Amino acid sequence: MKKLSGNSWCIMGWVEFKHNNDEPRMIGEDISALANSAVLADRSHAYMIWGVEDGTHNIIGTNARLKHTKKGNQEIENWLRYLLSKNADFEFQSVDIDGKHVEIIIIAKALGVPVTFEKVDYIRVGSYTKKVYEFSVLQAQLWDRLRHEQFEDTFVAIDLTLQQALRLLDCDSYFEILQIPVPTEKEGYAHYLEEEGIIKKQDNGLYAITNLGAILFAKKLTDFPRLGRKAIRVVQYEGNNRLTILKEETMYEGYAVSLEKAVRYVNTLLPSREDINSIRRVTNSSFPLPAIREAIANAIIHQDFYIAGAGPVVELFTYRVEVTNPGVPLVEIKRIVDNPPKSRNEKLASLMRRLRMCEELGRGWDRMIISCETQQLPAPRIQIYQESTKVSLFSHFEFSNISIEDKLWATYMHACVKYVEGNALTNGSLRERFGLKDTSAGSISRLIKEATEKKWIKPLDPTTARRYMKYIPFWT
């Protein structure tokens, strides 16, 4: 009888052997336990293996067929993903060895927070799966490791030769963007990539690719199972709902290449019109292109990589563009203009700045708002959901057709931009922002009054005559 050899298989904290037991609830609890135990064992993955005898590690085969197993009328994989926390990342594999069937679940270690099943976190203690809270020392150790581990530093591929690592990465883009001469030897590549934290040399002399390196320079993000769903996806719909998809494209390259590729692709899909009054032929987009680029770049930089199965999505409708990313902002949205730059992915933001993909100065939102104001469009709308953020950009609407909520938001954003510039909102500046004539002063006054009553803006000097009144954001 064939046997799986090697001392590493004896570390029961991150490997679990089964014969035929494929009870779904047991699998869910074990996925949570193994993902969390892998953190303590300093392993990138843990494994559940059916068809291998526990203790002897002899291959005995199994009757389990996980891809065909169901819980009620639901496939077990979908059932598990619904009940496991969003940071749970696993995949089913199967293989026949000498005529004996073996089933495997490959489980990525927990990132950010413990992996839970039905909102309970588990861990392996010896050969048993236990609830973490029952073991306070292990719980403290687990949280300590999770808090101090950054996504960018975690290895996404290990035990690679230098040639294998370079084959998976678009290294030439790194040298081209930074205008550095391409090395003539592989060791020259290794020097630069190690300095940037893109690859790391392991103690055994082989190399590992970090999440930072793969997310920016992967030739194909799908080569790295945990990152495949982080690719930028662009979807164009017919009309203003999601009923009919006209075009769809997923940019599978790392962000160093796919960001500009996605921006260019979106620009080709945006409705535009030719300016017939221009001496030279000029085509104007219905949406502000700087705002489009900043929205996509922000979605990349500020996404929560610990939320598995979701990535940046750009959706185009007739009159709006929506950019969605996993994760919620780290700053309160009403302070998004003036707040100092803050990113949950600091190393990613820093390297993207060096690659001239972003500024890391906190001016992205300023640029978005100002570009919308310049074209007299509604202000970018921010919507925060439980685990995602959506930024919506709009093409031209007549003032009378803009909802009162969007008018008030645009008023507040205008006050913020003016204040950052060292000025203040006035009736005249707000009329100009919306493209209105002097005859609309009354409508603008009522809008300013309502924004003041909501305590979004306040008079710079309450004693000033009403016609000369200036307004600033509430937080000043």
* pLDDT on residue 274: 58
Which phi and psi (to 5°) does residue 57 adopt?
65, 20
What's the gap between Cα 78 and its chain centre? 22
CA–CA distance, 351 with 259 (Å, rounded to integer): 14
Regarding predicted confidence, which is higher, 112 or 239?
Answer: 239
Name the pairing type of β-strands 116-117 and 120-125.
Answer: antiparallel
Phi-psi category of 135—alpha, beta or left, where left has phi over 0 and alpha has psi -120 to 50? beta
Per-chain mean pLDDT for the chain: 89
Q: Give the model's confidence band at 361: pLDDT under 50 very low, under 70 low, under 90 confident, else very high.
A: low
Running DSSP on this structure, what letter comes out for residue 238? S
Regarding predicted confidence, which is higher, 450 or 68?
Answer: 450
CA–CA distance, 289 with 306 (Å, rounded to integer): 30
CA–CA distance, 176 with 198 (Å, rounded to integer): 16
Residues 39-48: tens digit of each pLDDT? 998 887 899 9
Q: Which helix (H) or strand (E) holds 250?
A: strand 245-251
Q: Is 5's pLDDT higher than 80?
A: no
Which phi and psi (to 5°) does residue 151 adopt?
-55, -45
User: Which residues touch 462 (CB under 8 Å, ≥6 apart)?
Assistant: none
* pLDDT on residue 10: 39
Running DSSP on this structure, what letter comes out for residue 84? B
- Across the range 375-400, mean pLDDT stands at 94
Phi-psi category of 51—alpha, beta or left, where left has phi over 0 and alpha has psi -120 to 50? left
CA–CA distance, 229 with 278 (Å, rounded to integer): 44
Which one-letter amino acid corresponds to residue 264?
R
Q: Give the model's confidence band at 430: pLDDT under 50 very low, under 70 low, under 90 confident, else very high.
A: very high
Q: Which helix (H) or strand (E) holds 128?
A: strand 128-131
CA–CA distance, 297 with 285 (Å, rounded to integer): 19
- Across the range 111-120, mean pLDDT stands at 92
Residues 254-305: tens digit of each pLDDT? 999 999 999 999 999 998 765 555 555 555 678 988 899 999 999 999 999 9
Residues 94-106: tens digit of each pLDDT? 999 999 999 999 9
Tokens 């100092």: give the residue: 340
CA–CA distance, 301 with 281 (Å, rounded to integer): 36
When mean pLDDT is compared across 53-57, 131-135, 309-313, the lowest value belongs to 53-57
Which one-letter amino acid corresponds to residue 317?
F
Q: Give the model's confidence band at 149: pLDDT under 50 very low, under 70 low, under 90 confident, else very high.
A: confident
* pLDDT on residue 120: 96
CA–CA distance, 174 with 193 (Å, rounded to integer): 9
pTM of the model as a whole: 0.76
Residues 298-354: tens digit of each pLDDT? 999 999 998 878 899 999 999 999 999 999 988 888 988 877 777 788 889 889 988
- Lookup: tokens for 366: 């300023």
The angle at the Cα of 109, spanning 74 to 213, to the nearest 5 degrees, equals: 115
Q: Give the rounded percent of residues in the chain with a pLDDT score beyond 90.
A: 66
- Across the range 13-18, mean pLDDT stands at 88
* Order of strands, sheet of 15-18, starting from the edge strand that comes earlier in the sequence: 15-18, 45-50, 100-108, 90-97
CB of 259 within 8 A of CB of 300?
yes
- Lookup: tokens for 329: 């902002």
Regarding predicted confidence, which is higher, 381 or 149?
Answer: 381
Which phi and psi (to 5°) does residue 395 adopt?
-80, -170
* pLDDT on residue 277: 55
- Across the range 190-195, mean pLDDT stands at 94
Q: Give the model's confidence band at 219: pLDDT under 50 very low, under 70 low, under 90 confident, else very high.
A: very high
* pLDDT on residue 6: 41
CA–CA distance, 349 with 353 (Å, rounded to integer): 6
Selection from 465, 469, 462, 432 nearest residue 448 by Cα: 469
Regarding predicted confidence, which is higher, 282 or 466?
Answer: 466
Regarding predicted confidence, which is higher, 452 or 187?
Answer: 452
In 206-329, alpha helices (H): 211-217, 255-269, 289-301
- Lookup: tokens for 182: 């391409």
Selection from 215, 216, 220, 198 nearest residue 207 by Cα: 198
Regarding predicted confidence, which is higher, 282 or 389?
Answer: 389
Give Cα separations from 340 to 346, 425, 455 (angstroms): 13, 22, 23
Residues 230-252: tens digit of each pLDDT? 999 999 999 999 999 999 999 99
CA–CA distance, 286 with 321 (Å, rounded to integer): 11
Selection from 116, 122, 46, 108 nearest residue 83 by Cα: 116
Which one-letter amino acid corresponds to residue 430?
L
Which phi and psi (to 5°) does residue 301 adopt?
-70, -40
